[in-house]
Amino acid sequence: NGPTDPEALRERALAALLAARDRTTLLTTCVEDSELTAQHSPLMSPLVWDLAHIGNQEEQWLLRAVAGRDAMRPEIDPLYDAFEHPRSQRPSLPLLAPAEARGYAAEVRGRALDVLEKTPFRGTPLTDAGFAFGMIAQHEQQHDETMLITHQLRSGPTSLTAPDPEPSPPFAGPDEVLVPGGPFTMGTSTEPWALDNERPAHRRLVPPFFIDTTPVTNAAYQRFIDDGGYEEMRWWSPAGWAMVRQNDLRAPLFWRREGGQWLRRHFGSVEPVPADEPVLHVSWYEADAYARWAGRRLPSEEEWEKAARHDPVTDRSTRYPWGDADPTPERANLGQRHLRPAPAGSYPAGESPLGVRQLIGDVWEWTSSDFLPYPGFAAFPYREYSDVFFGGDYKVLRGGAFSVDAVACRGTFRNWDHPVRRQIFSGFRTARDAGPTETSAPEAV
């Protein structure tokens, strides 16, 4: 169960809002202002749009909805409504200039902190447990991740740097573990800042399955490439094969082959693809094809969550694989502390009771599941967060990545994107069915 004391939650909300703003500031000051208005990719907004959109959402929810204030600048609302203009067209909108956008976001923040201090953390659904404040901190961190994607897509050197993950002893565990069949509790009704699509908690029966103990590595993925994986239709779904042929895909995004070696562009520099790191920047179609080539499949969303949250000893679902305590740097690679995933098998302190590692952090993990509502779902506080996306051409990703902050990442957190998307910080692990009487992995032959 999540924290419940209102004063502790208020402090948590303040810290989360301040941390998000620090990150936003870094992501929007590490390049020249001219780079904030530039279009680095038609897939992304100009960075200055994210900046003012962050302020605009905060104004709408904390100043207008929670505190009942009038709009500060009603004329800009449509500019920063994500449903009004596609990302590719945002550079040509009459957006606030960088200095204006900074000033606007800062002014909203000043007032929002005042609202935070004065708002009782109970009484209305929006303010119970400080939900709106937690939601807005998560929203800002989600856009900080989006801005990090824009930085990765941007060409030329970058001043964004971070230390590499601390070295971890080599992983000596098995390649996969059996998750015994049976019911478990999926989703949450108690996590105070869980978003609408994570709710409510409900029981699900999950047949027994095996799941990889670590995400699939670049070395493993390279074996798929070397085996002609991108040239053989039989590994691909029909839509995946169409994507490969139309775009002549041969490797994950940002990879290129030079002198018999795979290199990748990573935040402004070029490096040999690190063999032991989880594969990054693959689409759902590539993850699905790799799994088929490996004689396996992607885990479903409920399988992933059972592996990440179910404690077989107590039959309880915990907040995280390691239990109910918040993430720490020893448990998971989150929050842009590092700008890359740690080698597969890192973070022993973050493993699940069954010994599955790196479920939280490092890379977002594609699942086989479409993005759909849980039984009993109710849109809150706005339909445009989740409801309008259910049933669309989206696959669910789980577990968060190095790029996302802990406030926007939990065992129940659900992300989603189009199955062709590769610029996101996406990887995957694989699974397979287990027979009802299977109790351990068969001996290697």
Query: Rounded distance, CA 153 to CA 158, Å?
Result: 11
| DSSP 8-state symbol, 338 | S
SS3 1: coil
Say whether 109 counts as a known binding-site residue.
Answer: no
Least distance between ligand AVJ and beta carbon 345 (Å): 27
Q: Per rule CB under 6 A, is residue 422 in the interface with ligand AVJ?
A: no
Q: Per rule CB under 6 A, is residue 138 in the interface with ligand AVJ?
A: no
Least distance between ligand AVJ and beta carbon 404 (Å): 9
Say whether 256 counts as a known binding-site residue.
Answer: no
Residues with Cβ within 8 Å of residue 407, at least 6 apart in sequence: 16, 19, 20, 134, 137, 138, 141, 193
Stretch that binds ligand AVJ, among 87-95, 138-146, 246-254, 314-322 (CB under 6 A): 138-146
Q: In degrees rounded to 5, what are phi and psi of residue 432? A: -155, 155
Least distance between ligand AVJ and beta carbon 362 (Å): 17
Using the minimum distance from each CB to ligand AVJ, give the nearer residue, 146 or 188. Answer: 146
Q: How many residues can be counted in the chain?
A: 445
> Hey, what amino acid is at 229?
G
Least distance between ligand AVJ and beta carbon 389 (Å): 8
Q: Are strands 269-272 and 310-311 parallel, antiparallel or unpaired?
A: unpaired
Least distance between ligand AVJ and beta carbon 139 (Å): 6
Q: Are strands 261-266 and 269-272 parallel, antiparallel or unpaired?
A: antiparallel
The pattern of x and - marking residues 382 through 401 that bind ligand AVJ according to CB under 6 A reads ---x----------------
Using the minimum distance from each CB to ligand AVJ, give the nearer residue, 28 or 142. Answer: 142
Query: Rounded distance, CA 154 to CA 383, Å?
Result: 32
Q: Per rule CB under 6 A, is residue 142 in the interface with ligand AVJ?
A: yes
Residues with Cβ within 8 Å of residue 337, at least 6 apart in sequence: 162, 163, 329, 402
Say whether 88 counts as a known binding-site residue.
Answer: yes
Say whether 257 counts as a known binding-site residue.
Answer: no
Q: Per rule CB under 6 A, is residue 45 in the interface with ligand AVJ?
A: no
Least distance between ligand AVJ and beta carbon 84 (Å): 13
Residue nearest to ligand AVJ (CB): 142
Is residue 160 a contact partner of residue 40, using CB atoms and an 8 Å limit?
A: no
Say whether 199 counts as a known binding-site residue.
Answer: no
Q: Per rule CB under 6 A, is residue 49 in the interface with ligand AVJ?
A: no
Task: Tokens 């759909």: give the residue.
Answer: 372
Say whether 222 counts as a known binding-site residue.
Answer: no
Least distance between ligand AVJ and beta carbon 195 (Å): 8
Query: Rounded distance, CA 334 to CA 330, Å?
Result: 10
Cβ neighbour number for residue 170 with a 10 Å cutoff: 9
Choose, by CB under 6 A, the member of 90, 109, 139, 306 that binds ligand AVJ: 139
- Interface with ligand AVJ: number of residues (CB under 6 A): 6
Taking the CA atoms of 68, 73, 75 and 79 in sequence, report the sign of the dihedral they define: negative
Stretch that binds ligand AVJ, among 19-27, 139-147, 162-170, 181-189 (CB under 6 A): 139-147
Is residue 61 a contact partner of residue 50, using CB atoms and an 8 Å limit?
A: no
Q: Per rule CB under 6 A, is residue 90 in the interface with ligand AVJ?
A: no
* Closest to 104 measured CA to CA, from 141, 60, 61, 56: 56
Least distance between ligand AVJ and beta carbon 416 (Å): 6
Say whether 139 counts as a known binding-site residue.
Answer: yes
The pattern of x and - marking residues 356 through 385 that bind ligand AVJ according to CB under 6 A reads -----------------------------x
| DSSP string for 41-62 | -TTS--HHHHHHHHHHHHIIII
> Hey, what amino acid is at 336?
Q
Choose, by CB under 6 A, the member of 369, 415, 426, 430 that binds ligand AVJ: 415
Using the minimum distance from each CB to ligand AVJ, give the nearer residue, 87 or 266. Answer: 87
Using the minimum distance from each CB to ligand AVJ, give the nearer residue, 35 or 198. Answer: 198
Say whether 418 counts as a known binding-site residue.
Answer: no
Residues with Cβ within 8 Å of residue 67, at least 6 apart in sequence: 111, 115, 119
Choose, by CB under 6 A, the member of 416, 419, 422, 434 that binds ligand AVJ: 416
Using the minimum distance from each CB to ligand AVJ, give the nearer residue, 153 or 178. Answer: 153
Query: Rounded distance, CA 394 to CA 77, Å?
Result: 27
SS3 335: coil
Edge-first strand listing for the sheet containing 431-433: 176-179, 209-212, 431-433
Least distance between ligand AVJ and beta carbon 145 (Å): 7
Query: Rounded distance, CA 238 to CA 277, Å?
Result: 29
Q: Are strands 364-370 and 426-427 parallel, antiparallel or unpaired?
A: parallel
The pattern of x and - marking residues 145 through 184 that bind ligand AVJ according to CB under 6 A reads -x--------------------------------------
Binding site for ligand AVJ (CB under 6 A): 139, 142, 146, 385, 415-416
Q: Which residues are annotated as a binding site for gamma-L-glutamyl-L-cysteine?
A: 87-90, 417, 421
Please report, in range form, the residues annotated as the binding site for Fe cation: 53, 139, 143
